[in-house]
Amino acid sequence: MHIDLDRHSGITLSEQIRTSIADRIQSGLLQEGEKLPSVRKLSKLLDVSLMTVFHAYELLEQEGLIDRIQGKGTFTLGKSKGSKHRPSQNDSGKPSLDWQNAVVDYLPRAQYWRMMQTPLLDVAKLSMAALHSSLIPTEWISKQFFQYAQLDSTLLTEYGPVQGDSKLRGAVLPYFREKSIAVSPNEIMILNGSQQGIDLVASTFVGPGDCVVLEEPAYPCTIDVLRKRGATVYTIPIDEEGMQVDRLAALCDTRPPKLIYTNPTYQNPTGTVMSARRRAQLLELAQSYNAIILEDDATSDLYFGTKPPPPPIKSMDRHGHVIYLKGISKFISPGCRIGFLIADGTFITRLVSSKGISDLGSPLITQKAILPFFTSNQLQKHLPVLREKLKERRDLVLQILNRMAPKSVQWTKPDGGLNIWLSLPPTMNADDLHTFALKEGISFLPGHVCFPTQQQYHHLRLSFSYLDMHSLERSLITLCRLLQDFTSSDQHSQRMMPM
């Protein structure tokens, strides 16, 4: 268990140790019943005082994450759901693999893996921020696979260029131009989905103790990636105009960040849009403090009004501060695993080098399969229909919530994207609600995974894109009923932390 401590972060060392261990337990990376190092041992290992470790363990115990047994030691209580799915070490009759537990890793948190590990059969997944199959032009894409696989055999025999297929990089220029991003093909890199972009930017530019800033709440997989790099993560709360940039300015004075990650349009998980004014302010701040902005734009194509949202921050970027990510999973197909990264100067050079090291390049065939979206009018035909259908879903959810949700529950009303963010009264715990919901065949995303530090447990994310209309309606009604029971019952309102 490798723990990166940042002695200049303003976050107490006890709190840093607590977060590191809590994340591992909640991700299922530390199994239930695992013995933690003694206070003395850990304090020596981390070069901190006995009191610091003692206090961290105290906090963990208060949260119900560990158990200190007099004379025996400190043990994790864990999330049994996560640990159940670890392969049992003795099921193949092999000798013990216990020595592996002592092998230090650089993987403090893996919430995505944990979420995906839990098998949810016969469950209506309000948890999935992905498109229902009827919203994806499957037939069209299949045809492209067929044509390219048949006609151009080199697709299967050659390593593609590390930076990505040059035809595709050329073909997307008009699409980005429409977003006011003027770019040349050599400033674009093709990724295995935009998640790879987050990982590459972090592994190239972020190291232990580097200061990075996220919105609060934030996309959980970005938190996983930045924690894996040992970064010190600060968060800036969101209001109806997006990230509160004035608060970021205050932080910059004491601790200028190296990287600011933002999801300005239909933010995941809240659905908020950062105003044009804030976008400009954010860019200005990045310029003043030589910071990198990592702009993750998954859903700006999915607007429900008549006008698109404000142009990406990248469109205003003159000095190469913004690295822009555009995945296609949320509006064309998640199955192709394609995303685009836009950067310039030495940033794109360094990121292409990094991509080469990490996988030698993406498959050409999936890149070719989506090429015709950008060389024909297919995207122009597809997007308005998709927006209309998603709006219908959003409207349905809001309508049911308005009608049936208890007064003490609040939610966002996003103008686009895939998600709505619900907040219960602060004394309540969405993880407990989730336990009840699963019993009724419904899943959602418990909001605490969206907080990198000082987790809040009373939020949840509902994605309205993955179910058909009928299941969406039915599960929302059930959820509202559960919410009514839950908020009116006293027994669930005491615990602040998940089991």
Binding to a second copy, residues 52-91 (CB under 8 A): 86-87, 89, 91
Q: Which of 92, 254, 306, 491 binds a second copy (CB under 8 A)?
A: 92
CA distances (Å), origin 492, targets 83, 102, 425, 450, 489: 25, 38, 11, 21, 6
Q: Which of 25, 110, 168, 172 binds a second copy (CB under 8 A)?
A: 110
Residues 289-328, one symbol each (x = binds a second copy by CB under 8 A, - = not), give: -x-x-------------------------xxx--------
112 scored as a contact of a second copy (CB under 8 A) = yes
10 scored as a contact of a second copy (CB under 8 A) = no
Q: Which of 107, 249, 383, 499 binds a second copy (CB under 8 A)?
A: 107
Handedness of CA 124, 127, 130, 131 (dihedral sign): positive
Q: Which of 26, 366, 419, 429 binds a second copy (CB under 8 A)?
A: 366
Rounded least distance, CB 196 to a second copy, Å? 5
Identify which of residues 235 and 333 has a Cβ nearer to a second copy in the complex. Answer: 333
Pairing of strands 35-36, 73-76: antiparallel
Which two three-digit tokens encode residue 43? Answer: 């304090």
Which two three-digit tokens encode residue 491? Answer: 């027994």
172 scored as a contact of a second copy (CB under 8 A) = no
Which two three-digit tokens encode residue 199? Answer: 């990982």
**242/169 Cα distance (integer angstroms):** 31
**9/61 Cα distance (integer angstroms):** 24
Q: Which of 38, 101, 180, 399 binds a second copy (CB under 8 A)?
A: 101
122 scored as a contact of a second copy (CB under 8 A) = no
Rounded least distance, CB 275 to a second copy, Å? 25
Residue 210 is inside which H or E element, if any?
A: none
362 scored as a contact of a second copy (CB under 8 A) = yes
Identify which of residues 382 and 492 has a Cβ nearer to a second copy in the complex. Answer: 382
417: left (phi over 0), alpha (psi -120 to 50) or beta: left
DSSP 303: B
Number of residues that bind a second copy (CB under 8 A): 101
Binding to a second copy, residues 248-277 (CB under 8 A): 258
Residue 411: CB atoms within 10 Å? 19
Rounded least distance, CB 105 to a second copy, Å? 5
Q: Is 365 exposed, middle or buried (0-12, 13-18, 19+ CB in 10 A)?
A: middle
23 scored as a contact of a second copy (CB under 8 A) = no
Q: Which residues contact 97 (CB under 8 A, 6 or more apart)?
A: 89
Identify which of residues 54 and 145 has a Cβ nearer to a second copy in the complex. Answer: 145
CB 352 within 8 A of CB 127: no
Stretch of 134-142, 263-271, 375-383, 448-456 lying at the interface with a second copy (CB under 8 A): 134-142
Residues 152-171, one symbol each (x = binds a second copy by CB under 8 A, - = not), give: -xxxxxxxxxx---------
360 scored as a contact of a second copy (CB under 8 A) = yes
345 scored as a contact of a second copy (CB under 8 A) = yes
Q: Is 454 exposed, middle or buried (0-12, 13-18, 19+ CB in 10 A)?
A: exposed
Residue 23: CB atoms within 10 Å? 23
Identify which of residues 209 and 406 has a Cβ nearer to a second copy in the complex. Answer: 209
DSSP 32: T
Binding to a second copy, residues 368-407 (CB under 8 A): 369
Q: Which of 10, 64, 73, 208 binds a second copy (CB under 8 A)?
A: 208
Which residues lie across from 459 on neighbouring strands?
423
Binding to a second copy, residues 32-51 (CB under 8 A): none
Identify which of residues 70 and 100 has a Cβ nearer to a second copy in the complex. Answer: 100
Rounded least distance, CB 69 to a second copy, Å? 23
> Which amino acid, one-letter code, is at 197?
G
Identify which of residues 181 and 409 has a Cβ nearer to a second copy in the complex. Answer: 181
**Distance, C-alpha 471 to centroid of its chain:** 25
CB 355 within 8 A of CB 191: yes
Stretch of 188-196, 297-305, 408-416, 477-485 lying at the interface with a second copy (CB under 8 A): 188-196
Rounded least distance, CB 119 to a second copy, Å? 10
- DSSP 3-state percent helix, strand, coil across the chain (nearest 5): 45, 15, 40
Q: Which of 59, 77, 123, 130 binds a second copy (CB under 8 A)?
A: 130
Stretch of 61-69, 167-175, 194-202, 296-304 lying at the interface with a second copy (CB under 8 A): 194-202
CB 252 within 8 A of CB 213: no
Residue 322 is inside which H or E element, if any?
A: strand 322-327
Identify which of residues 353 and 408 has a Cβ nearer to a second copy in the complex. Answer: 353
